[in-house]
Copies of this chain bind each other. A is one copy, B any other.
């Protein structure tokens, strides 16, 4: 892991840009010496510098967590193959046309999850070897990758998942294998995530401790207090 730049945000939180192989990432660490870790994953091709993501990460770090995000395969400035670009264009057209998008979605996002999950595991191994970062580990964000990691990675002790209306078939089937505490956040009128599918997915998780939070509005309308609620969720399960 190579640190490219760092800045101190206030008296306690240190923000570091890094690369790990070909994967760019950001790590926020609080002043404490054995901070629990939150992996904060995003999809939709968003860059890790997206202001809403950064604000959320800084809030968790201020709360005492080490927080890491990476531009996994398909996100930010990561190079995309011509096949990927075509598949994404197909998906955009299918969504705009308002027809069924399941198969197109599957062909775009299914492979992305398969490629992103090992990158996250490598990142996790590296982060836990750093001084000042302990465990247990929480996960926050992109639903499909969160399911895959929760099922394959026993170090993950709690997951906060967002949206979840469109999730590849493999992860929908894996959801029942997730047994760690779960906070499932959805927007009631998420334009990209059918509500009933998200509710069905919540129902499918195997966790005995699972909580659903839903708020009004579209995909990017989540109210800020949900970040604080998520912080308390991690407090309950990671401390």
- Give the shortest distance, in Å, between A138 (CB) and chain B (any CB): 16
Which residues on B sit within 8 Å (CB–CB) of A103? Answer: none
Cα–Cα distance between A14 and B133 once the two chains are bound (Å): 46
Q: Indicate how many identical chains form the complex.
A: 2
**In whole angstroms, how far apart are the Cα atoms of A225 and B213 in the complex?**
13
What are 20 A-B pairs with beta-carbon distances under 8 A? Answer: A188-B203, A188-B212, A199-B199, A202-B214, A207-B216, A208-B216, A209-B216, A210-B215, A210-B216, A211-B213, A211-B215, A212-B212, A212-B213, A212-B214, A212-B215, A213-B213, A225-B232, A225-B236, A228-B232, A229-B229
Closest to A207 in B: B216
- Chain A: interface residue total (CB-CB under 8 A): 20
In whole angstroms, how far apart are the Cα atoms of A117 and B239 in the complex? Answer: 44
Q: Is the interface of A mostly helix, strand, loop or mixed?
A: mixed
Report the Cα distance A208→B215, complex, angstroms: 9
Q: List, in ascending order, chain B residues with CB within 8 A of A213's CB.
A: 211-213
B-chain residues with CB within 8 Å of residue A215 when the two chains form the complex: 210-212
Residue of B nearest to A182 (CB): B216
